Each structure stands twice: as structure tokens, then as C-alpha cells.
Amino acid sequence: MVDALAQLRRAVEILGYDDATFAMLAAARRELTVSIPLRRDDGTVEVLTGHRVQHNLSRGPAKGGLRFSPEVNLDEVRALAMWMTWKCALLDVPYGGAKGGVTIDPRLYSRSELERVTRRYTSEISPLIGPQIDIPAPDIGTDEATMAWVMDTYSVSRGHTVLGVVTGKPLPLGGSLGRPSATSRGVTHVALAALEEVEVSPAAATAAVQGFGKVGRGAAEFLAKAGVRVVAVSDQYGAVTRPDGLDIEALALHVDRTGSVVGFEGSKAMNSLEDLLLLDVTVLVPAAVEGVLHEGNAHHVQAQIIVEGANGPTTATADRTLADRGTVVVPDILANAGGVVVSYFEWVQANQAYWWSVDEVEQRLADRMKQAWLRVREHAAHHQLTLREAATSLAVKTVAEAHRARGLYP
Ligand code: NAD
């Protein structure tokens, strides 16, 4: 939360807003913490904790992912909810920000246990969610099956099917074509735009991708398809490298088979997970967890461009170091916004019960990402700001203006 607040403070400074505006934008609108009693498959009972935070509702319903991870805590969920608010505003998606999480390591639970956790969590937060209130989506440790359980549990409690209560659903349940790959495609659109900016062609560029999950895997695949040489990839178990470029399709098959990038044929294991972040590459895509670029390693980062696939991968201190070193950092609220953009498309389609073709979805996504990139880049150049300062201040302005137009009640 410290980093999210530091970014907001800087945006408020840039915009010349007062402390009251900062206080209003810093506070979450609603927070709910719930207990989730779970009967495990062996008959024992344990009690898990979950949260849902709605940071802002000024521009529409709240929107944000649901994370299952042992690291989930209220402070982290608050920060992630705030970033969602700025992301939606920047991409002109008519939502406020939210985030949810359950403190659980999903790898240690069976599928039916995870289903029971999801259904109980949904039931506990159901007074707060709904297609016009707050719309969850997948994030770390959750997927389209999780979204189907959320949708079903909510629908059963209402007595009718409510497709628009979540996004990232399976296709037979009103999911959108193009949603699974949307975040990674968005990351690739801005990475290619940033390469153009520094006048390096994709064929001359190299990339390293941290995380090989929903975001990292697709980002590696699309960057490779665009001609970029992806020389290193990591997951939580290890990092592998091949200076001539990894065959990402073959690597994906290896991960499907073994559960990790470790041991991929023709690649070399790296000494530590952190080494990947310090490689001399054109583009670094951190697409795993928060805070991986910090005071301790930012000075050693050699990448020319960092495209933040993950939310909050760069601490505020590291951000200043990278800015001083001239590294181009494409901030998370722009770089990984493809997911929320296509989530919005999915919600629009579900509400209209009319589905678009994959080409339509991908073209609209590409247009929005490119427009947002141009807006941020021009704002940064015009006011001599970093891309993060430009993106956050543009977003904060949009939200503050919506706040002001609505006024205070009572
Ligand atoms: P995921 O659970 O599908 O994948 C996470 C990946 O990161 C896994 O490969 C995991 O092994 C790896 N990982 C975890 N810790 C690591 C470490 N210390 N070093 C290297 N790898 C590590 O999650 P995801 O959906 O891909 O999300 C990744 C990030 O992207 C998160 O910050 C998430 O909030 C953000 N994000 C996701 C979406 C989306 O549509 N899924 C949208 C926007 C932002």
C-alpha cells in the first residue's frame, strides 16, 4: 500500500490538488473481511480468511480480480484495488477499482476443496457484488473455473442466472473470445510501441519474462511471434535462459507436462530467480508478483525498457532509481490493462446477450491500448514526467473530476 499511496501523493502534487482530495482518493470506499470455514477432503475443518475491497465507485461499478495466494493480506488487496481504479480510468473503462483475495496456497488444496472455498467466499461477499455493483475476475491462483463457481453461487442465491456478475468466465457461460489472452496481448502492444519509441526493431530486441502464468506465458509467446528474441523466462521454481532465444511454444508444452519452466531442454538454469531481472536485455517483463524491483536491485537492472505485466512490481524507491538511470518503465496501470479492457467487453456482451467475434475483440483491444499509450506518452513528454507519473496523474484527474461532479453527500 505504501507504494500505491506514494504514487497517488505524487499525482496529487502534479495536479496541484489539496490534501482533502488526496485523503478522499486514498481511502477505500468499502472493505469486507470474511472467515471461510472449509471442510477438507480428509474431514478436518480449517478457517481461511478472505477480503474484498472496493476502492472507488465514482465512475461506475467496482471491478477487479480475485487472488488466491498465501501472501494475500488486507494491505495488499487495498493497494491492488486502488491500482484498478486508476487502470479503469486511464483506459476509459466505466468502472471503479476493486480487488479480492483469499489467503490460501491453492497448490495444497484439491479441486473440490477450492470449489468449496470459492463458493463460501462468494456467498460471504455476495451482498457487495453484482453486475452493477462489483464484478470480480481471475487473478493469481484463480481461473475461469473459479469464475464459473462464483457466477453459479451468486446466481443460485438470486434465483436466476446472472452472467454479468463476473468476467473471465468459460466461453459456454458467456465468456468473451479473446479474454484469456487479453492481458498478454496488451502487454505486447505497449512493449512494441515502447520499442518503436526507442527505435529498436523487434528483430533486434531481446526480452526476459518473469512469471510464466496467465500473463507471462502469453507475453513471451506474443513477443516471440512479433520477432523479439525471448532469452530468459522464470516461474516460482526457477529461471531458464538461452541467449539465442527460447522456443516459447515448446517451453509451454514442457510447462504443461512438468508444471514448471525448470529443466526445459536446450536451456540453461539461472543461478537465482533474481538474476533474470538483471539481464542485459532490451525489454524486461515482470509478470509475477509485487515488489520484485526494489532498492536492493534497481541499480543493477540493465534492461532498456520495463513493461509491468504484474501489478506493482516496482517499489517507489526503485522507480526513482530507474527514472534517474533513464530506463523506460511502462507502468502496470497501462501495461497490463488489456485484461480489464476485455473484461469490460465481456460484461458489455453479457449485458446485451450479444457476442462479438475474436477479431472484433482483438481489434478493439489493440485500438484502446494504442490510444492509451499515445495519451500517456504525449502527456509525459509535454509535462516532463515519467510514464508512471503521466499515467497516474491522467487517471487520478479523471476520477477526481467524477468525484467533484457528483459532489459530497450529504
Ligand atoms: P498466475 O498465477 O497465472 O501466474 C503467476 C506466475 O508467476 C506463475 O508462473 C508463478 O510460478 C510465477 N511466480 C510467482 N512468484 C514468482 C517469483 N518470485 N519469481 C518468478 N516467478 C514467480 O498469475 P497471473 O494472472 O499471470 O498474474 C501475474 C501478475 O499479473 C499479477 O501481479 C496479477 O495481479 C497481474 N495481472 C493479471 C491479469 C490477468 O488477466 N490475469 C491482469 C492484470 C494484471
Q: Is 44 helix (H, G, I), strand (E, B) or coil?
A: coil
Nearest atom, ligand 1, residue 239 CA: 20
| CA distance linking residue 264 with residue 83, whole number of Å | 35
How many whole angstroms from 221 Cα to the centroid of ligand 1? Answer: 15
Does residue 351 surpass a pLDDT of 90? Answer: no
In the block, cell 461532479 appears at 405
Express as a percent the part of the chain with pLDDT over 70.
Answer: 100
Question: Does ligand 1 have an atom closer than 6 angstroms to the CB of 262?
Answer: no
Question: Does ligand 1 have an atom closer than 6 angstroms to the CB of 69?
Answer: no
Taking residues 181-196, what's their average pLDDT? 97
Express as a percent the part of the chain with pLDDT over 90.
Answer: 95
Longest CA span, the chain: 66
**C-alpha grid cell, residue 184:** 498478454
How many whole angstroms from 117 Cα to the centroid of ligand 1? Answer: 21
Question: Does ligand 1 have an atom closer than 6 angstroms to the CB of 213?
Answer: yes
Catalytic residues: 99
Mutating to test ligand 1, I would choose from 214, 297, 341 the residue with most ligand atoms within 8 A of its C-beta, which is 214
Of 330, 338, 242, 341, whose CA–CA distance to 286 is shortest?
330
Q: What is the CA radius of gyration of the chain?
A: 20
In this prediction, residue 143 carries a pLDDT of 94
In this structure, the number of other CB atoms found within 10 A of the CB of residue 242 comes to 17
- Residue-wise pLDDT tens digits, 232-276: 999 999 999 999 999 999 999 999 999 999 999 999 999 999 999
| CA distance linking residue 30 with residue 79, whole number of Å | 13
How many separate helices (H) and strands (E) can be counted in the chain? 13, 12
Taking residues 35-47, what's their average pLDDT? 98
pLDDT category at 200 given cuts 50, 70, 90 is very high
**C-alpha grid cell, residue 26:** 486514498
Of 186, 141, 236, 229, whose CA–CA distance to 344 is shortest?
186
Does residue 350 surpass a pLDDT of 90? Answer: no
- Residue-wise pLDDT tens digits, 120-174: 999 999 999 999 999 999 999 999 999 999 999 999 999 999 999 999 999 999 8
| CA distance linking residue 372 with residue 388, whole number of Å | 13
Mutating to test ligand 1, I would choose from 235, 255, 346 the residue with most ligand atoms within 8 A of its C-beta, which is 235
Does residue 394 surpass a pLDDT of 90? Answer: yes
Nearest atom, ligand 1, residue 292 CA: 18
Domains contained in the chain, CATH given: 28-173 (3.40.50.10860), 182-335 (3.40.50.720)
Q: Describe the chain by its helix, strand, coil percentages, rounded to 5.
A: 50, 20, 35
